[in-house]
Structure 1
Amino acid sequence: MARRRQIYEGKAKILYEGPEPGTLIQYFKDDATAFNAQKKGTINGKGVLNNRISEHIFTLLGNIGIPTHFIRRLNMREQLIRQVEIVPIEVVVRNVVAGSLAKKLGIEEGTPLPRTIIEYYFKDDALGDPLVTDEHILCFGWASQEELHDMADMAIRVNDFMSGLFAGIGIRLVDFKLEFGRIWDNDYARIILADEISPDGCRLWDMASGEKLDKDRFRRDLGGEVEAYQEVARRLGLLPEGADSAVLDLETHRKKRGK
C-alpha cells in the first residue's frame, strides 16, 4: 500500500492527502495540549472519541443546513473531509463566564452572560492566538465583511442548536471554538464550517453537579479526562451504557496488531 502524503500536522490532528481531488483525510490524535502548547500530554483514546463526537455533531449541523467540510467517517480515527482554505481566525462563542474571560475581567467563573458573546482570535501560536476585533480582521484582509458576517451568523446558529442538544442530555454548553474555511468555485469563495467540534474545543459542564466534561480536566490537572470524554459520548448515544472502555480496548487491540 502506498504511503499517504501528509499535508499538515497540528496539535490534535494530522491531515493527509485524500483519495480524490479536493478532499483530505483528517486523523485524530491522542495528543493533548493547553496554554498554546506550553502544556503537553496524552489522553489515551481521545482521538477515537473526538472523531465520533465530531462526526455526530457535524452530521446534525449539516441536517439543519449548516455547510461543513465533513463528508464521512472512515474508521475509528479518521474522517474524509473537503479541502478548504482555512480562515486564520478562531471564533469563540461564550454563554457563561469561564476561562480567560473570567481571568481578564475578574468575573466569577460560572456567571451566566446576559447575552451571548462572540470573540475573534488570530490563529498564530507564536503570538499566543491574540484576541482581535472585526476591525483588525477587515484591515488586514484575514476575512471580508461578507465572510465575517457569514461566520458570525453560522456561529450563532451552531450555538442555538448545540445549546439545545446538550441541554437535552443534562450538559451546559459554556463556550466553544469554531474554525471556518473557504471553498472556491472559480473566483467565488464560500465559507463553511471546518476543523472539529468535540470536548477539546468546548466547555461542557454537567447541569446538576457542575462537573467539567471537557479538556479543562487536562488544563487544570483534575484527572479523569478519558472518563469525561466518554461520558459526553455516552450521553449523546455514541457509547453504549456499560461499555466504558469498549472503544478504547478495541483501539488498543488495533495498535498491538500494528494496523
Structure 2
Amino acid sequence: MYLTWERYKNFIVDMDGVIYRGKHPLPGSDDFFRFLRERKSKIAFFSNNSTITKGQYVDKLKKMNIYASEDEIISSSSITAYYVARENPQSQVYCIGEAGIRDELQKNGIKMIDDSSNENIHFVIVGMDRQFNYEKLTKAMRYVLNGAQLYGTNPDLTYPMEDGLIPGCGAILASIEACTGTKAKVFGKPQPESIQFLLEMTGFSVEDTILIGDRLDTDIVLAKQQNIFSILVLTGVHQGEDVKKTGIVPDMIVENLIELKKIMLMKGEA
C-alpha cells in the first residue's frame, strides 16, 4: 500500500496507551509531536478517560515535553457534559466520577446533587471512579429506578496503567445496568456523538484526518465508522492478534510512535 502523507493535515490522537501509561510517557512520544508541529499539523488529543480536567491534561503532557492547549483536548467528559447541557440545561445530576467529568458538568452549568434524600434527579452520570463503592452503586440504582436517565462518559471496560490494566468506566456502568435493568446512553468513543463533537469543535474534515489509537473496540471502530484513516499502535490495550479475534481491521498497525514517524519520513509514502 502506498500512502501520500502530505494529504493528512489533522491528527486525532488517543492518549492513554498511545502517548503514555499512567504517569510514564511511552518511547518517542515527545519527538513524534514535535515532528507533527514542525509539519504544521493540527492535533486533537482525544481521550475516553474522564478522570482529569483539560488543564490537568495540559500539565500532564507538558511534564512529558508535549505541548498542547486546552482547546486541543477532547475528552469523554467534555462530550458528555455538552450533550447533557444541550438536552436539559436545568437538569440536576448524580455524578459518579472524578475531577474531569465534575469540572465539565460545572462549566456547563449542570447542578450536581449528592444528597440521597433528593429524588429530583434527572440524570445519573457515570465516569471512571477509583473511589466507587457500594454506597455509590446503591444511590445510582435508586435514582435510575426512580426515573433518572443513565448516562456514561465512555464504554471502556479497562484502563491501562504502568503495572497493567485496571477496571474502567464501562465496568462501573455495567454494575448499574445490571441492578436496574437499564441500558445506559454512552457518549465517548466509539459513539458517533463523540466524533461529531470533535469535528464541530476542531473544524477537521474526515478526508484529511488520521486517527491514532490503541483500542480496536473504540478508537479503530470509530475511525472506520466515519471513514477516517486509522492507525493502531501496539503500546496499549490491543495487540496484533486481537485484530484476528475481533475482526476489526485498522488501516495500519505500528509498534509505537517511533515507528510511525519513521514510516511518515520514508519519502512521504508507506
TM above 0.5:
no
RCO higher in 1 or 2 (8 Å CA, sep ≥ 6)? 2
User: Under a length normalisation based on structure 2, what TM-score does the superposition of the two structures give?
Assistant: 0.29
User: Under a length normalisation based on structure 1, what TM-score does the superposition of the two structures give?
Assistant: 0.29
Larger proportion of helix: 2
